[in-house]
Amino acid sequence: MNGNGDACKVASAQIEVQNVTRVYRIPGQAPVFALKDCSLTVEPGKLTVLVGPSGCGKTTLASILAGYDTPDSGRAIINGQPIKGPGPDRMMVFQETALWPWMTVMKNTIFGPTMSGRLARSEAEKRAIGLLNKVGLQECKGTYPARLSGGMQRRAELCRALVNDPAVMILDEAFRGLDVMTRELMQEYLVKLYEDTGMTMLFITTEIEEALFLADRILVMTNLPGSVKKCVEVDLPRPRDFHVLASQRYLEIKAEVMEALYEEGAKTFGKLNMLDFPGACAPAATQG
Amino acid sequence: MAVMRKASLATRINQKLASKSFWRGVTAVIGFFGLWQVSSMGALPFMSAIPTPVEVAQAFWKLLFEPKYWAGWRDSGQRVFFGFAAAQILGIPLGLGTGWKRNFNHLTFPVFELLRPIPPLAWVPVSILFWPTNELSIAFITFIGAFFTIVVNVLGGVGSIKKELVYSAISFGASPSQVFWRVVLPATIPSIATGMMVGIGITWNVVIAAEMIAGNTGLGRLTWEAYLAGYTPGIIVGMISIGLAGYVSSGLVKWVSELLMPWKRIF
């Protein structure tokens, strides 16, 4: 059954969102429903990609899962426990770089384990070096983030998150703003990371190609108020090289996702026409 | 392949001498002093009260051997230093607290906003009445000049910290005090540096005016005394000295803030 967020639900869910509603109330303005009755499941060990038009509540959902925000109603659950606040079991990678500019790459990376006292400094550094080696940043451990390129910053950020051994990674449009080449490289890094660790991942994006390259499963969100509209299983083999990306099955899945997404996009533009550009409709009205 | 190296001093001087912009600058400076000299010598009637650059240079040379001149540097410098330092010591924590802690903000911000619009020099009379010595009242007025600036800057700095920087620290398990010391404070340092840069300029402004009104010593007082004595070259020398003092202290503040922000040095 499609059209329902729980369409692909299986028993061993790692993250569950049940009927979550989040309303932003600004005095003197109509309340904005960022999420309304939103339900979804992120299965353990799967790479789930959440796709939706911009401003559809994706980031609000990510904030609730990370514990920075709380729903007005409904529940967000990780491994059977309600999410009460931020924690090192869920690592978030943000739209813009969130590396601390005053710390070197190494200090950024070992911040989590040393602050919380989970690891001794030397132990944390050893693990950090291992991770930085893996993403080709071993030469940059003493460098400040501002001296790194966008792609290197993202890789450093992945290391900073991974060193905490999270159960779930939430990546909120993490590769936005990177050039095409770097972006493709980062996507490959992420898939490799995912295959190596089998970590549960929730990747949020506005781009269908990115979703299709990464996902085990794609969740399509509705426009505001946001909720999950459609769940598409991406049963494409990995590695997803150009053969796969040119296959009939790829095109079928793409069409399915596009159809759902463009319906939502069209709704936004319909609204915009009426609200923001009343003049655009005026000639037709006078002629009629 | 040749390794890129910093050009030697001789090469750099040669490059300077070859550049048109350098020579335009030189022409402008010479032109300025030339015009000044000619107009003070009588070419422009209203400039006749102003001493010529040559007279000023002579007066400057003479003053360099007078202990009173150097005592002026010392006294003004001390007032600026103590007023400025006190403003940083009190202002930075106040700004951080007001910016970061909501309850503290509710307590401090209204009073702060009530006092902030009062210009530093408006504090002169009450300061003379309140503080037992002239020295303290001048230092206090200097303090006022830098205090509000630093607080406003720190407050703005805390307010504009990217929330992701704080969020990720919390996710990594940092405690509230760790978040404050490891994230909020370093994230505010660039704003502290801006506040200090603006503040040091204001302190010199204020100290000179306060010395003219209430002081017995200092560069501002020397300038004022030269005016009272009708010794015009002394006035100009005083002005130049004050400019130099401001330039030197701005340089010091810049040096300190660069030390505080090693990550801002890109290469």
For residue range B207-252, list pLDDT tens digits in order.
999 998 888 889 999 999 999 998 999 999 999 999 999 999 999 9
Amino acid of residue B220: G
Please indicate, yes or no, whether residues A85 and A210 belong to a single structural domain of this protein.
yes
Partner residue facing B167 (CB), from A86, A103, A147: A86
Please tell me the distance in Å from A97's CA to the nearest CA on chain B.
Answer: 8
Q: Chain B partners of A103 at a C-beta cutoff of 8 Å?
A: 263
Confidence (pTM): 0.81
Residue A271: pLDDT band (50, 70, 90) is: low
For residue range A11-24, list pLDDT tens digits in order. 334 888 888 889 88
Q: What residue of A is the nearest CA neighbor of B170?
A: A86
Domain contains A180:
no
Q: Chain A partners of B165 at a C-beta cutoff of 8 Å?
A: 98, 100
Instruction: Decide if A116 and B263 are in contact by the 8 Å CB cutoff.
Output: no
Strand partners, A50: A204, A219
Q: Is the pLDDT of residue A274 over 50?
A: no
Instruction: Decide if A116 and B174 are in contact by the 8 Å CB cutoff.
Output: yes
CB pairs under 8 A between A and B: 71
Please indicate, yes or no, whether residues A112 and A231 belong to a single structural domain of this protein.
no
Q: Is the pLDDT of residue B165 over 90?
A: yes
Please indicate, yes or no, whether residues A24 and A149 belong to a single structural domain of this protein.
no
Instruction: Decide if B183 and A164 are in contact by the 8 Å CB cutoff.
Output: no
Please tell me the distance in Å from A256's CA to the nearest CA on chain B.
Answer: 34
Please tell me the distance in Å from A112's CA to the nearest CA on chain B.
Answer: 4
Q: Chain A partners of B189 at a C-beta cutoff of 8 Å?
A: 102
For chain B, list residues whose CB is within 8 angstroms of any CB belonging to chain A: 162, 164-165, 167-175, 178, 182-183, 186-187, 189, 261-264, 266-267
Instruction: Decide if A116 and B164 are in contact by the 8 Å CB cutoff.
Output: no
Where is B22: in which H helix or E strand? helix B20-38
Please indicate, yes or no, whether residues A275 and A147 belong to a single structural domain of this protein.
no
Domain contains A102:
yes
What is the residue-averaged pLDDT of chain A? 82
Cβ atoms within 10 Å, residue A79 = 14
Partner residue facing A146 (CB), from B167, B170, B266: B266
CA–CA separation, A160 and A96 (whole Å):
15
SS3 (DSSP) at B172: coil
User: Which one-letter DSSP state was computed for residue B52?
Assistant: P
Please indicate, yes or no, whether residues A254 and A281 belong to a single structural domain of this protein.
yes
Q: Chain B partners of A92 at a C-beta cutoff of 8 Å?
A: 167-168, 171
Domain contains A14:
yes
Domain contains A131:
yes
- CATH code assigned at A72: 3.40.50.300
Place of tokens 């190296």: B5
Partner residue facing A98 (CB), from B165, B174, B266: B165
Residue B6: pLDDT band (50, 70, 90) is: low
CA-based R_g, chain B, Å: 24
CA–CA separation, A213 and A198 (whole Å):
17
Domain contains A178:
no
Which residues, 6 or more positions from B54, have their beta carbon under 8 angstroms from its beta carbon?
B37
Instruction: Decide if B170 and A86 are in contact by the 8 Å CB cutoff.
Output: yes
Please indicate, yes or no, whether residues A76 and A113 belong to a single structural domain of this protein.
no
Alpha-carbon dihedral A233, A237, A238, A244, rounded to 10 degrees: -100
Alpha-carbon dihedral A120, A126, A129, A133, rounded to 10 degrees: -150
Domain contains A187:
no
Structure tokens at B146: 């830098």
Please tell me the distance in Å from A182's CA to the nearest CA on chain B.
Answer: 22
CB-count burial class (<10 Å; 0-12, 13-18, 19+) for A163: buried
**Distance of CA B88 to CAs A86, B73, B121, Å?**
35, 22, 19
Q: What percent of chain A has pLDDT over 90?
A: 10
Instruction: Decide if A87 and B175 are in contact by the 8 Å CB cutoff.
Output: no
Instruction: Decide if B172 and A118 are in contact by the 8 Å CB cutoff.
Output: no
For residue range A31-47, list pLDDT tens digits in order. 888 888 888 888 888 88
State which residues form the domain around A37: 5-89+168-173+197-287
Structure tokens at A27: 């005095």
Which residues, 6 or more positions from B223, have their beta carbon under 8 angstroms from its beta carbon?
B208, B212, B234, B235, B238, B239, B242
Q: Work out the average pLDDT over A64-85.
A: 88
Instruction: Decide if B187 and A68 are in contact by the 8 Å CB cutoff.
Output: no
Please indicate, yes or no, whether residues A78 and A116 belong to a single structural domain of this protein.
no
Structural domains of chain B, with CATH: 59-264 (1.10.3720.10)
**b/e for A119-140, b at 16 or more Cβ within 10 A?**
beeeebbebbbebbebbebeeb
Structure tokens at A272: 């915009």
Q: What residue of A is the nearest CA neighbor of B187?
A: A102
Please indicate, yes or no, whether residues A143 and A132 belong to a single structural domain of this protein.
yes
Domain contains A185:
no
What ipTM score was computed for the predicted complex, to two decimals? Answer: 0.81
Whether the CA torsion A127, A131, A136, A137 is positive or negative: it is negative
Do residues A56 and B141 lie in contact, with contact meaning Cβ atoms separated by under 8 Å? no
Strand partners, A168: A90, A200
Please indicate, yes or no, whether residues A11 and A83 belong to a single structural domain of this protein.
yes
B-interface mutation test, from A84, A102, A140, A144, most B Cβ less than 10 A away: A102
Do residues A136 and A193 lie in contact, with contact meaning Cβ atoms separated by under 8 Å? no
Please indicate, yes or no, whether residues A122 and A249 belong to a single structural domain of this protein.
no
Instruction: Decide if A147 and B266 are in contact by the 8 Å CB cutoff.
Output: yes
Domain count across chain A? 2
Please indicate, yes or no, whether residues A256 and A136 belong to a single structural domain of this protein.
no
Q: Work out the average pLDDT over B143-157.
A: 94
Q: What percent of chain A has pLDDT over 70?
A: 88
Q: What is the pLDDT of residue B5?
A: 56
Q: What is the pLDDT of residue A282?
A: 42
Please indicate, yes or no, whether residues A122 and A204 belong to a single structural domain of this protein.
no
B-interface mutation test, from A78, A115, A118, most B Cβ less than 10 A away: A115
For residue range B70-104, list pLDDT tens digits in order. 999 999 999 999 999 999 999 999 999 999 988 89
Instruction: Decide if A144 and B174 are in contact by the 8 Å CB cutoff.
Output: no
Q: Which residue, A30, A178, A170, A197, is CA-closest to A89?
A: A170
Structure tokens at B157: 């700095």
Partner residue facing A91 (CB), from B171, B178, B187: B171
Which residues, 6 or more positions from A84, have their beta carbon under 8 angstroms from its beta carbon?
A67
Domain contains A189:
no
Please tell me the distance in Å from A118's CA to the nearest CA on chain B.
Answer: 10
- One DSSP character per residue, chain A reads --SSGGGG--SS-SEEEEEEEEEE--TTS--EEEEEEEEEEE-TT-EEEEE--TTSSHHHHHHHHHTSS--SEEEEEETTEEP-S--TTEEEE-SS----TTS-HHHHHHHHHHHTTSS-HHHHHHHHHHHHHHTT-GGGTTS-GGGS-HHHHHHHHHHHHHTT--SEEEEESTTTTS-HHHHHHHHHHHHHHHHHH--EEEEEES-HHHHHHH-SEEEEEPSSSB-EEEEEE----SS--HHHHTSHHHHHHHHHHHHHHHHHHHHHHHHHHHHT-HHHHHHHHHH-
A-interface mutation test, from B161, B162, B164, B168, most A Cβ less than 10 A away: B168
Whether the CA torsion A210, A212, A214, A220 is positive or negative: it is positive
Tell me whether strands A15-24 and A73-78 are parallel, antiparallel or unpaired: antiparallel
Which residues, 6 or more positions from A235, have their beta carbon under 8 angstroms from its beta carbon?
A249
Q: Chain B partners of A112 at a C-beta cutoff of 8 Å?
A: 171-173
Q: At what angle do helices B219-228 and B67-100 cross, to 10 degrees?
A: 130
